[in-house]
Chains A and B, each alone.
Chain A
Amino acid sequence: MYESLFSFPSAFTGDFQRLRHELDDLFGAVGMSTGIRSVAPGSFPAINVGKLPQSMEIYAFAPGIDASSIEVTVDRGVLTLAGERAPALPASDAKVNVYSRERASGRFRRAISLPDDADPSKVQASYRDGVLHISVARRDAPVPTRIAIQ
């Protein structure tokens, strides 16, 4: 059941519904602290970044994408993931009524800056159940070397 009477996806209330979705996503986590950067939850794909002692873990929630067409690149400390999602709507000549078109489609691109100790040569990516999981190994902390004075 739609939660409100204003949920009919007509052209008039389409923008309100999108705003309501974004606010639902943002305020749905009541009680947890909202990060200062999490102000645009509607962007596709949503991203979670976590840190382990040995690696950085990035989870991109991107369902319905062909895994071989996703581009993951690391350039000067910035990890970029780009790809495209084909629209689900059929050709316009088919006799189809569209009641709801909330899923994003088209090209997407997200960039994440990696910390200084990330090792760009050790990146692993896998795609499962619509979640792209990227793991970037971190370099071990350099041991300070002692320099002998001659």
Chain B
Amino acid sequence: MSKEQELSTTPSTAQAAAPASDTRYVVPRVDVLEDESGITLLADLPGVPKESLELKVEGDTLLVEGVVATPMPQQLQSVYAEVRVPRYRRAFTLSRELDAGRIEANLKDGVLNLRIPKQEHARPRRIEVRAG
């Protein structure tokens, strides 16, 4: 059965207030590093506070979603905008040796740091070779 694990949820007011363009999103930049004990994933999510970050694991898919919640005054007139869509979304397929149940997540200054450890049985092991 698929396993759903929500670390935090988007407030419902953000979805209700979004206009028809709420299905558009920006793919955030991500660094993925692997070492012996697991995978470290760093994602650039500027403007996303902890309350509007959504992390979900469904089966073998990891979904990262965040809504930019930088407070902007209502009558602000846009002069020049490079960031037009206030939503980030990216999904990853996790391989089987990763332990999705022990993911650690940390969001600081708009950088999401995910640590996905490997299953105990998948960590590199030296195999002793017996002579004779």
A interface residues with partner B (beta carbon < 8 Å):
1, 21, 24-25, 28-32, 35, 37-38, 41, 43, 45-53, 56-57, 59, 61-65, 88-90, 94-104, 127-131, 133
Question: 28 pairs across A/B with beta carbons < 8 Å?
Answer: A1-B93, A24-B26, A25-B26, A28-B26, A28-B85, A29-B84, A32-B84, A43-B82, A46-B82, A46-B83, A50-B78, A51-B77, A52-B75, A57-B73, A59-B70, A59-B72, A62-B46, A63-B45, A64-B108, A64-B111, A88-B31, A88-B33, A94-B35, A95-B36, A99-B34, A129-B46, A130-B45, A131-B110
Question: Is B48 in the interface zone, CB < 8 Å from A?
Answer: yes
Checking B35, B48, B75, B110 against A64 with a beta-carbon cut-off of 8 angstroms, the contacting residue is: B110
Complex CA distance for A21 and B44, rounded to whole angstroms: 14
How many angstroms between the C-alpha atoms of A82 and B77 in the bound complex?
Answer: 25
A24 pairs with B33, CB closer than 8 A: no
A56 closest partner in B (C-beta): B79
Chain B: minimal CB distance from A44 (Å):
9
B residues 8-29 with Cβ under 8 Å of A?
A: 21, 24-27, 29
Cross-chain contact A57 with B72 (CB below 8 angstroms): yes
Kindly report which residue of chain A lies nearest to residue B43, judged by CB atoms. A103
A101 CA to B33 CA in the complex, in Å? 9
Set of chain B residues within 8 Å of A48, measured between Cβ atoms: 78, 80-83
A65 touches B109 (CB 8 A): yes
Contacts of A131 in B (CB 8 A): 46-47, 68, 70, 110
CA of A51 to CA of B77, assembled, Å: 5
Given A1-B91, A28-B25, A129-B46: A63 and B31 within 8 A (CB)?
no
* Nearest-CB residue, chain B, relative to A31: B21
A-B residue pairs, 3 tightest by C-beta: A130-B110, A63-B110, A130-B46
B51-91 with Cβ < 8 A to chain A? 61, 68-70, 72-73, 75-85, 91
The reply to whether B109 and A103 form a contact with Cβ atoms under 8 Å apart is no
* Contact, CB under 8 Å: A38 / B82: yes
* In the complex with contacts A29-B84, A32-B84, A130-B111, A49-B79 CB distance below 8 A: yes
Q: A99 near B33 (CB under 8 angstroms)? A: yes
